[in-house]
Amino acid sequence: MLFQQEESLMQIRVAQEQDQPYLVREYLQHLSPHLGEAERYAWQHLQVERALLLEDKGFVVGFASWGRREGVRAGLAQLTGIRIIATRRQQGHGTELFHAVLQDMEAYYADLDSALRRVFLFSPEATAPFFARLGFAQRAVLNDHRAVNQTDILQILDR
């Protein structure tokens, strides 16, 4: 799957084996400094779940990941991450990447003679407005188990 903008060399593509070092760095930078966990994270997103990369002239400027939850017939997917590098934020790339992920989810379920019914995610409060603009509804506020005095927002998008 490849999504390409006409006016630039910007493209969105599914992560491949050669992207493993990028996925490891992404994990180490944003989630944990543990190399073994980072390598498992990369393997999981290349072999089991999905990762899409937003590139500009061959340089990764954004990343999104998702995974199927429950059985295929449930039509349930979790958006597990979406990030745009700081210098490219507020330019519509996050929205563009999200819509590419949604297309990828729908195609995945269609290929298995099923349908995407619901997407859910956990996000920090700071990104909740972004997901609300994309149609997600806030369902719960949870104490963030990773950080003191922080919360995660459970958000749902029904299809």
- What's the pLDDT at 25? 75
- What's the pLDDT at 75? 94
Burial class (CB in 10 A: 0-12, 13-18, 19+), 37: middle
| Residue 30's pLDDT band (cuts 50, 70, 90) | low
pLDDT in tens, 77-136: 999 889 898 888 888 899 999 999 999 999 999 999 999 999 999 998 889 999 999 999
pTM (two decimals): 0.81
Q: What is the overall mean pLDDT for the chain?
A: 85
CA distance 68 to 117: 11
In order of their start, the domains of the chain are 2-116 (3.40.630.30)
Residue 42 CA from chain centroid, whole number: 13
